[in-house]
Amino acid sequence: MKQDSTLHDTTSQHSIQQSPAGEHGQATHNGEHAQTEGFTFNAMFNENLGDHGGFYLFSYHLADLPYVFVDNGSFEFYPNVHALEASGKYELHAGHAVKKDGSHVQLDLSPTNFVVFQWISMIVVIALFIIGNRSYKKSHRAPKGIGNALEMLTTMIRDTVVRPNIPNERLVSKYLPYFLSVFFFIYAMNLVGLLPGGHTATSAIGTTAGLALTAFFMVNIVIPVKAMGAGGAIKSFLHHLLGGAPWWLAPIMVPIEIVGVFTKPFALAIRLFANMSSGHIILFTLIGFIFFFNTVAVSPVVTLFSIFIYFLEVLVTFLQAYIFTMLTAVFTGLVLGDHADDHH
């Protein structure tokens, strides 16, 4: 037994040495599992749900991504992992660039696999609207196919999300493009993540936090200032701090309202992140039963439940995009208050 263990350790070390650390980012991507031979469920779980420093489909590395960061006051750009390691100043650790001493760079702006799928989602949305627009301009008739679907979704967001919460046609017309962009961008990222080999960008907290921060500035600064002016927006904000309570309750109400201002975007980020991550985790857990029991006898049951969860996720992709957009519109209406009415 001892000789077998020694032989296994020697083989594992030999396999690690044979794999260059950072070749196309592949060694880093699989570095955590380099000492295990063959397929493991833990490896599949981490590789498919995690973010990586290259472009991946399934767990296959397709292309390197550039490494861009600011460190010690200088701008650093390396087109691929080979150029990064050739600099002699940095190396890869868990898919991210770190200094040779192990410390992190000051500001890492490097695109990751999730960022690539965000770009793919944006390209898909823009392409679909260009196609729908061109087909409508050619025929000048009621849209069909893609154009009809886009018009239906656009009308739905306008009539069921924006108008009921912002009852001012001027503000609706002005800021409808923002709400539509939020909805279609999230919806596209959710759907792309369900495609074979796709990665769901909204299952990364960084993506949902970025969307929530954008909503925070739009809801609390941009739209109120444009609608009421800087003075009116500040006056309205101070008025809302009391929440309609008497002035002598200010020591209690003001802290609560201030916390509420920051809690709303936090809830937006966590809700979208948790819902999009949980579906994938459930799917991987179901598949993991096959490896847990080490038999294909459970595969029919696992397959049926997996198909059910997958179709449920198709519904969740739409619901989460709709809910995020709806809550953003609700928060906007609450901030504007009576100033959103047409007579103002």
| Residues 248-277 pLDDT 10s | 777 888 888 889 889 999 999 999 999 999
CA 128 to chain centre: 21
pTM: 0.81
Domain locations along the chain:
2-111, 115-340
Separation between Cα atoms, residue 202 and residue 195, nearest integer Å: 14
pLDDT higher for 226 or 326? 326
Distances 233 to 229, 238, 257, 273, 296 between C-alpha atoms, Å? 6, 9, 16, 31, 63
Confidence of residue 213 (pLDDT cuts 50, 70, 90): very high
Residue 181: which of 139, 249, 122, 230 has the closest Cα? 122
pLDDT for 13:
43
Mean pLDDT of 188-207: 91
Taken as a whole, the chain contains a residue count of 344
Confidence of residue 216 (pLDDT cuts 50, 70, 90): very high
Residue 275: which of 157, 186, 215, 214 has the closest Cα? 186
Residue 339: which of 229, 221, 244, 208 has the closest Cα? 229
Separation between Cα atoms, residue 46 and residue 37, nearest integer Å: 16
CA 173 to chain centre: 27
Is the pLDDT at 30 greater than 90, yes or no? Answer: no
Confidence of residue 29 (pLDDT cuts 50, 70, 90): very low
Residue 54's φ and ψ, nearest 5 degrees, are -135, 180
Separation between Cα atoms, residue 60 and residue 54, nearest integer Å: 10
Give the amino acid at 61. Answer: H
pLDDT for 271:
95
Percent of the chain with pLDDT strictly greater than 90: 37
Burial class (CB in 10 A: 0-12, 13-18, 19+), 163: middle
Number of CB atoms found within 10 A of residue 295's CB: 10
pLDDT higher for 263 or 341? 263
| Residues 58-107 pLDDT 10s | 778 888 889 888 888 888 899 888 888 888 888 887 667 788 887 888 88
Separation between Cα atoms, residue 73 and residue 296, nearest integer Å: 56
Separation between Cα atoms, residue 20 and residue 27, nearest integer Å: 7
pLDDT for 47:
53
Tell me, what DSSP letter sits at residue 244? Answer: T
Q: Answer whether 213's CB lies under 8 Å from 205's CB.
A: no
Separation between Cα atoms, residue 145 and residue 143, nearest integer Å: 7
Separation between Cα atoms, residue 320 and residue 49, nearest integer Å: 19
pLDDT for 238:
80
